[in-house]
Each structure stands twice: as structure tokens, then as C-alpha cells.
Structure 1
């Protein structure tokens, strides 16, 4: 049966290509690789001391890798004809490489595949600075959207973080984040063109490294001498907030909402229909490396949100006054959304959320029968397996020598991934 071998060829220099890869290429019908490395691979397959290898080389087809879709279709055609294919990829196929992309594409469902690992650029960087990787966190910002807060959180909680960088998100960008989050006692190490004659290596404080320029394809490592786990603060009481006469989500319900949201310290959060901002403030305290976007149409309520923002020094909270549907359409992609009021625009808000490429956790509180019915219908469309609980809170009140319970209106809390 024909087979596809995904082979790692290391950082680029022939010295780092394993003999197992060379032997596999010599026996293959087709070798596919980036155009810049094809000459190296052809030379390795042409071993003049071995006449059999020379003859085999004449029959090997070498192709430059094109668009992923076209390349996979080409591989599928060759495999269907009963021939073996080697796809040579830079670095290690098991580390942010094409192997996962191939596996996730339906075209490869019935392919017989194997892997030959390679020396990755992060290993080369660790070796250059004498740093091991078993205790490191590895993050790729190459082609992946990462917030500054998520980077700062990772460095704060780990002694060592390795980064696969991109043109816009390189060592200087990482260093700027360190300075913005007062992580100026860390050491930033970076490398480019590893294993080549024009290899670049540098390390220093964030203030030093923010001034250095590196090629677009580079790697970095940040060492934190004092890592610490971020502990979420305790919940606030209703009495802690500035509230006036604006409706506010009661503290017991807030705790249930926040439990359902399960916030992470670097989450991007929307609070739609924020009222006094009590949920916004709680979220802002729970996501010190994230951001909270609070949307409210009432001018009076917006003023209260600003007061509470100042009171609790919630610098990561941004307040928006205006129509909910129009406003959320302009907000950054969220990780979590709480909807406490939609002004009859629930459908448009959920439509905006559903348009994002990733699944987003949405928590909705509803009190009126109309809102409950609308939410139930809409979530049935976007997330039929949604969760819902009903919460009723009674609070004791003294009458003479007796106590009775004053019960608030029951609240339905819906949770769904949209």
C-alpha cells in the first residue's frame, strides 16, 4: 500500500537532516518540499558513491510545495496510483507544522501515513542558550491571534516560555508587552537563521530587546526568574458598588453567572446590557490580563459604570454607550459573553456572535417570560444543547421578633457555545 511520509528536515542546513529522512526520500516516487530546500534534498538523494542511489534518484520526482489544497490533491493522486510520497517540512512535523493540517483535512482520511521527526527551531534556540525545554511552555504567534494579555499571563505563570514568532509579532513585540505589563525583570532571548552562516542570536532585558530588529521568521524565549500563579479575587457584595436606582444583578446571581462563564485570566469579555456594571467589574477583576467591554444604552447607567470602574481601578474595562446590536458589531472577538439586557435585539447580537470563526461561550440571564421564550427559541437555533438553570434567592427580613423571607424574582440563566 502506498504511504505518505511527513519528514522533518530541521532548520535548513543539510547537517541537521536525519539519515532516515534521506533513505526514505531515495525510496520514494515523489518528494515535495518548499522550493528553497529542494536543491539540498536533490543533492542528498544523489550519493555518487552508491550507483544504485544514482539510478534511483533519476526516477524521483521533486515538486515545490504550492497551496495546501492543491498540494494535498496532488499527493492524493500520486498515492492512488500506488506510489510513495515524502513531504519534507522544516523543523519538526509534530510542532506547529503541516502534519495536523493534513490529518484534519478529509482528503487524508484513508491515507497510510508515518512521521519522521526533525530538529525544531525551538530546540536550536534552547541549545544556543543552554536552556532545556522540559519545564517550558510553547506558544506559536505565527499566523495565530494572541492578545498581549495572554502573552503576559503565560510569562507571569511560567519560568520559561518559547515562542514561534511572526513578522509583526517578533521579539520586539514580545518585549514591548513585557514592559507594558511591568515584567521588566525577565530575560528575552531570540534567534533567527539558526544553523546558517548568518545566524543571529541576542538576549537582554525587555528594554534592550525592544530596540532590536529580527527577520520575520525567528524564535524567542522569555525566562522569568520569579513565576507565580494568578489567583482570582473573591466576589464583591452589592453594597460595594455605586448603584443609585439603576437595576443591578444581585450578588448571589452574579456568582452563578461568573461560575457559568468560567473566566480565564486573559479572556476577552463582553457584558451586554451592563446596568451599573456590577458583572463588568467582577469580570474585570477576574481577567487581569484580559479585557472587558461593557455595553449600555442608558446614560444614567453608563455614568454609574464609570464610577464603579474608577472605584475598583478596572483599567482593563472599556465602556460603550449606545445601541447594543450596533455596538457589539464593532467590538473585538470575545472569548466569553454575558447578556443581561438586549433591548429586544437578542437575535442581532447572537447573529454577530455566531459569525466569529470560533465557538464563543455565551451566558444569558432572563427574568421576564418574553425574554425567556425568545432566548429559548434563539438558542435552539444556534446551540440546541444549551444549558439552563433557574435561580431564586430569598433574603431574610425581621418583623418584630420573627424573621420572614423576601424572595426576589426567579432568574433563568442560559449557557451555550455559539
Structure 2
């Protein structure tokens, strides 16, 4: 197969060579200097020709080679070299393509002056005071050294190659004036050099982003110095993408031309840019693509584009789309913004997990990382002089929080993230209804912004709060009721009426036999007063309980007890089991306090829902015990245990205490296991 010939002298030329290497296409790449050769790693598809060629040598080289196309990837300012390549190719019948560097820099600024040539720029420097940072390389150095006054004030940044150093020496540039380094250079590095050498004017070519042009301009702007820009001449040619398209047609092969994405999920803090971490600020400033809610991305201008996307279902298709539509031959920086702290009640977690999966499946090429921000809780705590390591921290921003009242009741300090004034009103209502009227509520309004306010309120005053905006609340409870670490409510704590209820000691043992854990989903079948459901739901907000009951009077009692104990992680299902169970979240555990004669059907449905479910059944009659024994023979089970529990209670009779026995109860526990 015929080779592709690349004349390289730019990042783009080298990157095109990398694309051809990755695609298995043999080619030759011509570089002028030893340093240019060093930048290219050995690859079996690439041959390197080092050294400058005169026009006749260049034509002879092209004619004697077996080339399918010639790509001119030399520097935009190397006009003579480009003319020589064009002349050498002319009449050979070999396609010639000029690879253009993207000129995506912004327009003028007050600290910037433009010149048509290096000579014109050098002449203007004679009127400038102070030291000069020359970042145009060594090629035109002679022009800038024609004035002794300018020469002695020059600090010349060049490539660390022998040829460049030799040119500096020949022009009388002293060693202390030479900065021999390979870019790219960040804004911080440019700014450091400006300050180190007390630069008053920076000289650059209009070289585009690949040449670090933007970083030079930003550094000069921060330092408050002038920038002299040598303008790039308009020329005909093709973009990197178009060159790749043409080479695919010439080589009859698809090119592997997609670069990786460096994806950063960044917490921007409370919203005011002054409170953003420097790490996040630098990530935003260096972004090629910027995503996030519209209000967050509005102040910033990424290198390529920004979109108001912050959900995984928006972000993933977009990243796949730009991967297919665009040729990015070096790492693209994608920054996705989230409010507050990325690891604190943030949508960042879901997006991160989806991106990791897509990268693992190779649907997206690149890497993903997270940068944290400062949360409004940290800000409010600092404003009011409180710590938050010993506080409860919860969010009702756009969602309900299970058992919020009990969370506040058992803590001295609680922080709440909120959606707006309506959530403050809701908080006041809950505190008053729950007997927590002595709590102090401190509201942080529009934290970090100019209109920031810290407002101290009573629960009653929370109901009257005006003004929409961003709120974070701190609740101080002077009457803490320590949370019990075990279940074990007294029977008299429940609203009972005449509905049968599992007694306290039996509840305790039955719940222990369930072996509950975080994230459990429990069916309380034949819930009665809901005593079992209340006890289980009170153990953890991360447990969901379905109280399944068929009797209307019992349903009413379950609702009353749920309201009394302020438990939102109980859902009441009015049905005769096993009806409606198939429409619920699959259970991990089930307690059967009453089966209504349908034990076999109930167990069959539970097995269908989860063949590894943990079951506890209570029985007080011998007939029910016999039914349990017969039913268990129908299923494969493990960890079977049957205990009988007898409880006696003392009752005072005159001066004596007599023991009165409760009905004995059988407690059967086991786990289903799959066939």
C-alpha cells in the first residue's frame, strides 16, 4: 500500500501521525530538527525523516517515494516552507492537502496590539518600556535583535533543541535571557514567568489554542501588561476533520481518530464564584465542553461549547453524539457543574455511576473524576459559629424525608437543605404539630450572595416567612428526647381499640427473628393495629414497611398510629393477602401475624416474589401450627426454627402480686431457598 507523507511542524501534524499509527496506515513524517524527532515515539507504521530540505531536495524526495497523498502540517507562519512543498508536489499527480490550525481565539482587547509581520512588531517594541517576553520561537529572532536596546530587554522562550539554542547564541542572547522549555504552557506558568522576569510586554503569534495562545492572553490580562500579536495570514486549506475524511477515501480505511475525554464533575459551591474552590475554577476555565444547569454555566465561556445538561439521560447521548460528529485528536476536557458540594445531596453521584459504566463498556473513551465544592451547610455553620460533625444533616430539597420530626426530636442540632420558603413553612408546621415549639430555627437565605441574610425564627414565625430564594436551616432543640437504640414500645403506647395486637414481648422476639438490615422491604401481613409495622419502621429510615390489612377498623388504627409516631416509611395496603402483593416492591422479609385461612396462598405468593425471603409467622392455635407444618413441606427452606413463648405478667391483688399468664405463642422463622 502506498504511504502518506506528512510535513510536520505543529501539534496537529504530530497528532495526524498518531491517528495514522493507531489506524495501521504506513506513512512518513518529515521534521526539521532533532527535537522534532524526539517528540515522536517509535511505531512500525511510521518512518521519520529529519532535516530541512531545499526545494530541489524536497521534490526529489516526493518523486522517488511512493506516496498516495502529501499533507502539509507545517506551522501557520512557515509560509516559505509551505510554498516549497506546494511547488514540489505540483505536476506529480499526488494529492496535496494543507492542514490548517484552528484559529478559535477571540477578538481584540484593550491590552492587545496587532501587527502584520515580525519586523513591524519588532520596530514597535522600540517604543515599549520594560522587559519583553518573546514567545514566537527562534525563527524570527534576528528581527527582534536588530535593536540593541530591545535585545537587552528580551527574555526568549524557545524549544530546548540545539538548533534553537544556537540561534540565540548567534544573535547575542545571553543565557539568563533564554527560557528553553517544551509547552504547552498553562496560564499559571505564563503568569509566573511574567512576574519572575518583571515583563512589561508579551509578544506572541496568533497561533490558536493548540499553540497556547489563549493561556498567554489570559496571563497577560491578569498581569496587566501589553500583548503584541503577530497576525496570521489567511490561507487556504482543510481542517483536521476534513483531512481525515479525505485520507479515509484515499486509503479506503476508516481512521481511528477519536481522542479521550477528561470528564470532571465539579461542585461549584453555593453559587457565588468567590466561594468556588481554586481547583474547580481552574477546571471550568480550561473546559472545552461545559455542562450544567443554565444558571450555573451562564457566566463562563468554554473553548468549544456549553449546554444546559445536568442529568445522565441528557449528558450520555450528548457525549456520544459529539464523539461521532467531531474529530478531537487530543484529550477533550468536559466539565459538568453541580450546585453545592458534589458529594452532598448532589445529582453528581448518579451521573458519575452512569459515566463509569459507559466508560467501562467503552461507549465513551476517557476518564471521570469528581471535584468537591463548599456546601451551604458548611457555610451556615460558619456564619452562626456552630459545628456540624455532631449534627443531623438532611435534605428536603425537592423530596420528602422519612420521619423528619423524630430526627429533630432526638438531636440537639439539625441542618436542613430546602427548596424555598414553602419548605420553611412546612418545617414550622411540623414542629408545632409535634410539640417542638421551643426549637430555635436559624435560616440562611441566599448564602454567599449580596442579599445574604441570617434570620432567627420561632416555629410560629417560620409560617410567616416571605421571600423566595435558596434557604438552608439550622434547628436547635433544647428538649432532646434520646432515640432508643432498640425496638420495644409498650403496649399502652399504641392506639388499640378492640383490634387484636401482638403483645410487647412477642413483638420483640419476632422482630429479632426477622434479622432485618438496612434497605430491607418488609410485608407486615395481617397488620392489625400496626404495632409490628411501627416498631420495624422506627428502627431505621432505610427500611420500608407495607402494612397489609383487610379490616377497615384496623386500617383506621394503623393510620392513627402512623400519624402518632410520625413514620413516613410505612405504606398501608387495604387488602386481604395475598391480593395486591404483586404490585408492591419485592419484599426481603415478611411477618405473618394473621393469614385469614390463606397461609398456603400467601406463602406461595411470597416465594414467587422472592425465593430467598426471610419469614416469621406467629400462631396461637394448634390448628394454625399444624397448617404451618403442612405448608412448609411444600417449599425448600433453610434456617428453620420453631419456638414457643409463654409470658406471665404480675397483677397486684391487695398486698400481693399474682402472676397472670398470657396465651402461649408459637414463633416460626425460616428462609426460603431457591431450588
Q: Is the 8 Å Cα contact of residues 157 and 228 (structure 1) preserved in structure 2?
A: yes
SS of corresponding position for 1:7: strand
The answer to whether the aligner puts 1:146 opposite 2:422 as a matched pair is: no
Match of 2:316 among 72, 78, 88: 72
Distance in 2 of aligned mates of 1:376 and 1:349: 16
1:412 partner SS: strand
Gapped regions of structure 2 (runs ≥ 5): 1-259, 648-662
Contact 1:269 1:337 in 2 (8 A): yes
1:187 positional shift: 1.0
Paired position in structure 1 for 2:444 = 191
Instruction: Please name the residue that 2:307 is paired with.
Output: 63
Residue 279 of structure 2 corresponds to residue 20 of structure 1:
yes
Are 1:121 and 1:194, in contact at CA under 8 Å, matched by a contact in 2?
yes
Tell me the equivalent position of 2:592.
339
The answer to whether the Cα contact below 8 Å between 2:290 and 2:336 also exists between their aligned partners in 1 is yes
User: 1:207 and 1:39, CA in 2 relative to 1: closer, same or farther beyond 3 A?
Assistant: same
Which of 78, 88, 98 matches 2:347?
Answer: 98
8 Å Cα contact 2:625/2:666 also seen in 1 = no
Q: Distance in 2 between matches of 1:95 and 1:135?
A: 16
226-235 vs 24-33, greater mean Cα deviation: 226-235
Paired position in structure 1 for 2:262: 3
**Take 1:189 and 1:241, find their aligned partners in 2: how far apart are those partners?**
35
Cα offset for 1:85?
0.9
In the alignment, the residues of structure 2 paired with residue 145 and residue 108 of structure 1 have an alpha-carbon distance, to the nearest angstrom, of 33
State the alpha-carbon separation in 2 of the partners of residues 313 and 139 from structure 1: 21
Q: 1:87 aligns with which of 336, 340, 347?
A: 336
Shift of 1:68: 2.7
**Shift of residue 144, structure 1, vs aligned partner:** 3.4
When structure 1 is superposed on structure 2, of 81-90 and 209-218 the one drifting more is 209-218
Aligned to 2:668: 412
In structure 2, relative to structure 1, the CA distance for the partners of 1:372 and 1:83 (3 Å cut) is: farther
- Range with bigger deviation, 340-349 or 20-29: 340-349
* 1:204-353 aligned within 5 A: 204-213=457-466, 215=468, 217-231=470-484, 232=486, 234=488, 253-261=506-514, 271-274=524-527, 277=529, 280-281=530-531, 284=534, 296-297=549-550, 315-316=564-565, 323-324=576-577, 338-343=591-596, 344=598, 346=602, 350=606
Partner of residue 129, structure 1: 384
Q: Is the 8 A contact 2:521 2:587 kept in 1?
A: yes
Deviation at 1:130, TM superposition (A): 2.7
1:181 aligns with 2:434: yes
Is residue 358 of structure 2 the alignment partner of residue 107 of structure 1? yes
Give the 3-state SS of the residue equivalent to 2:298 in structure 1. Answer: helix
Q: For 2:375, which of 120, 124, 144 is the aligned residue?
A: 120
Deviations 1:94-135 (A, max 9, x none): 211132112322325475222322222222222332322222
| Larger radius of gyration between Structure 1 and Structure 2 | 2
Between the aligned partners of 1:297 and 1:24, the Cα distance in structure 2 is 59
Give the direction of change, closer, same or farther, for the CA distance of 1:15–1:285 in structure 2 (3 Å limit). Answer: closer
Q: What is the aligned partner in structure 1 of residue 249 from structure 2? A: none
Q: Which moves more between the two structures, 253-262 or 206-215? A: 253-262
Q: Is the 8 A contact 1:235 1:282 kept in 2?
A: no
Q: Does 1:392 align with 2:643?
A: yes
Residues 1:349 and 1:213: Cα distance change in structure 2 (over 3 Å): farther
Is the partner of 1:393 in helix, strand or coil? strand
- Whether contact under 8 Å (2:291, 2:308) holds in the other structure is yes
- Structure 1 residues not aligned, in runs of 5+: 43-56, 355-359, 381-385, 397-406
Q: Report what 1:48 is aligned to.
A: none
User: Offset of 1:410 from its aligned partner?
Assistant: 5.6
The 2-side partners of 1:220 and 1:243 are apart by 40
1:33 equivalent to 2:292? Answer yes
Return the alpha-carbon distance in structure 2 between the equivalents of residues 8 and 100 of structure 1: 11
TM-score normalised according to structure 2 size: 0.44
- Compared with structure 1, are the counterparts of its residues 107 and 338 closer, same or farther at alpha carbon in structure 2 (3 Å cutoff)? same
Give the aligned partner of residue 235 of structure 2.
none
Is the alpha carbon distance of 1:321 and 1:36 closer, same or farther for their aligned partners in structure 2, counting shifts above 3 Å?
A: closer
- Distance of aligned partners of 1:61 and 1:151 in 2 relative to their CA distance in 1, 3 Å threshold: same
Greater relative contact order: 1 or 2 (C-alpha under 8 angstroms, separation 6 or more)? 1
- Determine helix, strand or coil for the equivalent of 1:170: helix
